[in-house]
Structure 1
Amino acid sequence: MAEHLQHFLNGNSKLLVGPIAIIICEDNIEIHSTLDHVCMLGFRTILAVSPEPVAKLNKTEGVYNLLFDTRHPHAHVNAVNAVNAAAPAGSWIYYGYNAEYLFFPFSETRRIAEMLAFNAEERRSAVLSYVIDLYAPDLSRFPNAVSLEEAMFDRIGYYALGRKDPDGKVMERQLDFHGGLRWRFEEFIPESRRRIDRIALFRSRESLKLLPDHRFSDEEYNTYACPWHNSLTAAVASFRVAKALVNNPGSRDEIPGFTWRNSCRFEWRAQQLMDLGLMEPGQWY
C-alpha cells in the first residue's frame, strides 16, 4: 500500500538522495512515460505523488509512489515545500506534472547530474525553464489532446515582458515569458496562469519557499541569468494545458483543435528546442 508523502518524509529523509524529481500526478495520463523519462535523465530519487496508488508501477530502486492531494489548487506548493524542508540542504530538486518531459541542453548525451554540476560551478542555485505546450494534431483521434507519437507544438509566438515589483519598478534579470496555448487561447486562461516560465530545478535550502505562481521566495532564484553572463536554461515539454483546455467546461466546446499554421512536429530532441531559441546552453556548457 502506498505511503503518504508527509509520513514518508518524516521517517525516510535519508532516502532523499539528489538529484530528486517530484512528479505531481493530477490524472492517470502518461504517468509511466513521465517516470521513465526522469529515470532516463538520471534522477536518483523520484517521488510520484498521486491521490490514489499508481497502477502497475514498476518496482524500480529510488522510485516511490506517495499519496498526496494533487487536486488541491496549491498542490505544487505544498508538495515542493515539504520535500525542500526534508531534503539535505543543497540538494537539487526538479518538479513537474504527469505528461510533462524535462529537456536541457544536450540532454540526449548528458545526464542531469552533469548539467547540475555545471550550474553549481556557475554559482547558480536555480534553472529557469520554459514550459512548451505539446498537443495532439487531431482531437477527433486523440480526445484527451495527448499523443506522444504525433505531438505538435508552436514554433513561434513566444515573447517576454519586463517583470515589475509591487511598486511598479522593473526587477533585475527577471522577465515574464508568454507563448504557446496559454497565449493563443488566453481568453480561457486566468491571467495569473498565462506565464510559461517556471523555476523547475532548484537547490534546496532552509526557509526557501515555492510560491503559487511558480516563483520562489528568494528573488535570485527567479532570475534568468547571473549578473556576469548568460546562464543555461531548460524546457519542460508539457501536455498539461492542452489536457485542461479539452476538459474544462468553459473551453472544451469552443476549441475544435490546436493545430495552426505555425505548428510543427515535436521531435523529442533537445537540439530542436535550442534551434528555436526555446532554451540555451549558456556560455560554456
Structure 2
Amino acid sequence: MRYSSLDQFIIQQGAALAKGPIAVVLVEDDVEIDTTLRHHLQSGFEMVLALMPAQFDLPRDLQETAHRIDYEMSLVGATEKAINALIKAAPGQWIYYCYNAEYLFFPFCETRAITEMLAFHTEERRDSMLTYIIDLYADDLDEHPHAVSLERAHLDRSGYYALARPDPMNDGHPKERQLDFYGGLRWRYEEHVPAARRKIDRVALFRATPGLTLRDDHTFSDEEYNTYACPWHHNITATVCSFRTAKALKANPGSRYDIDTFKWHNSAPFEWHSRQLLDLGLMEPGQWF
C-alpha cells in the first residue's frame, strides 16, 4: 500500500506498528531499491517500510509486501526526522534502518531469522546492536561506472581499526564501551570524505523507547545504546554491507575522476554469506551459537 506521507502512514498503521521487528529502508536514489527491500523481507522482519521519493516506482510484488511511503531524503535531517517519528510511534519495538543498496547480515542469517537473533539479544538485556558498515564495490568501474554490481561485488578483507571515543563532557576521557570504527573506502579515500562521515559504525538495530532520539551521527541520546557490548561479556554484532560510499565517491565530481578502480591487494569477492563476514572478523556472534 502507498502512503503520501510518514504522518499518514503512522495514523493509518499505528496499530500494526505494535508488532515488530520493523525494517526501514531510506531510499536516496533509484539504485537496487527492489533487491534491498526483498533482502530484508526475506530476513524475517514483520514489517518493511520503504521511505522513498514519489517519482520512484516499485515492482508489483513489493507494492503488496512492503509499505511504500512518499518521503524526500534530500532534505537536511531526513534520516533523523523519519527514525525519531517512528520511535515515538512504535515504543517497545525493534527497529532497523538502512539505505537502498545496503544489506543486513547477522551471524547465521542463512538459517535463522532476525526474530530469533533479537529474542536472544533481548534475553541478554540489550536494547541496541552495533552494526559495521562494510563497503561493497564493483570490481570493474568501466563496466559498472556507478560502482554497483551484485554479481561482481567486492569488499576489503582488512584495513579496519577502532579508536577510543572521547567524551566532551568528561574532559575528553574515553567513553565506556564505545569506540569509533574506521576502514573500507572511507578510510582509503578519506581525502574525499568529510571527517564527521568517516566512521563505519552505526547502531542500525535498536529497541524504541519513550524519549529516545537518533542524532545526526548515527548515535542515540541514550549513551548505553551506543555501546558495543554489555559490561560482562561480548554481545552479538552485525554488518550492513553497503554500496552507498562507492556510489557517492563515483557520483561526486570531486572524486569521480580520481578513482579508476576500488580494487587493491586486500580486495576479495563478496560471497553474500555470513560465514565470510564472521571469518574476516567483521561481526561477532557473542554467546549465540
Equivalent-residue separation in structure 2 for 1:234 and 1:267 (angstroms):
16
Equivalent residues of 1:53, 1:66 under 8 A apart: no
Q: Provide the residue aligned with 1:246 in structure 2.
A: 250
Question: Which amino acid in the other structure matches residue 198 of structure 1?
Answer: R
Equivalent residues of 1:92, 1:202 under 8 A apart: yes
Say whether 1:65 aligns with 2:68.
Answer: yes
Spell out, residue by residue over 1:140-183, the C-alpha distance to the aligned partner (whole angstroms, 9 max, x if none).
00011000001000000000001111130110000000000000
Say whether 1:162 aligns with 2:164.
Answer: yes
Q: Provide the residue aligned with 2:111 in structure 1.
A: 109
Equivalent residues of 2:133, 2:200 under 8 A apart: yes
Range moving further from structure 2, 1-10 or 188-197: 1-10
Of the three residues 20, 23, 35, the one matched with 1:21 is 23
Range moving further from structure 2, 268-277 or 46-55: 46-55
Percent sequence identity is 56
Q: Provide the residue aligned with 1:200 in structure 2.
A: 204
Q: TM-score, normalised by structure 2?
A: 0.96
How many positions carry a matched residue from both structures? 284
Q: Provide the residue aligned with 2:193 in structure 1.
A: 189
Equivalent residues of 2:120, 2:288 under 8 A apart: no
Equivalent-residue separation in structure 2 for 1:284 and 1:95 (angstroms):
23
Say whether 1:213 aligns with 2:214.
Answer: no
Equivalent-residue separation in structure 1 for 2:281 and 2:203 (angstroms):
18
Q: Give matches, 1:42-81, under 5 Å.
A: 42-59=44-61, 62-81=65-84
Gaps of 5+ in 1: none
Equivalent-residue separation in structure 1 for 2:159 and 2:184 (angstroms):
7
Q: TM-score, normalised by structure 1?
A: 0.97
Equivalent-residue separation in structure 2 for 1:110 and 1:284 (angstroms):
11
Spell out, residue by residue over 1:204-226, the C-alpha distance to the aligned partner (whole angstroms, 9 max, x if none).
11110000000000000000000
Gaps of 5+ in 2: none
Equivalent residues of 1:23, 1:96 under 8 A apart: yes
How big is the shift at 1:199? Answer: 0.2
Equivalent-residue separation in structure 2 for 1:197 and 1:284 (angstroms):
21
How big is the shift at 1:59? Answer: 4.1
Say whether 1:40 aligns with 2:42.
Answer: yes
How big is the shift at 1:10? Answer: 2.5
Higher helix share: 2
RMSD: 1.2
Q: Provide the residue aligned with 2:85 in structure 1.
A: 82
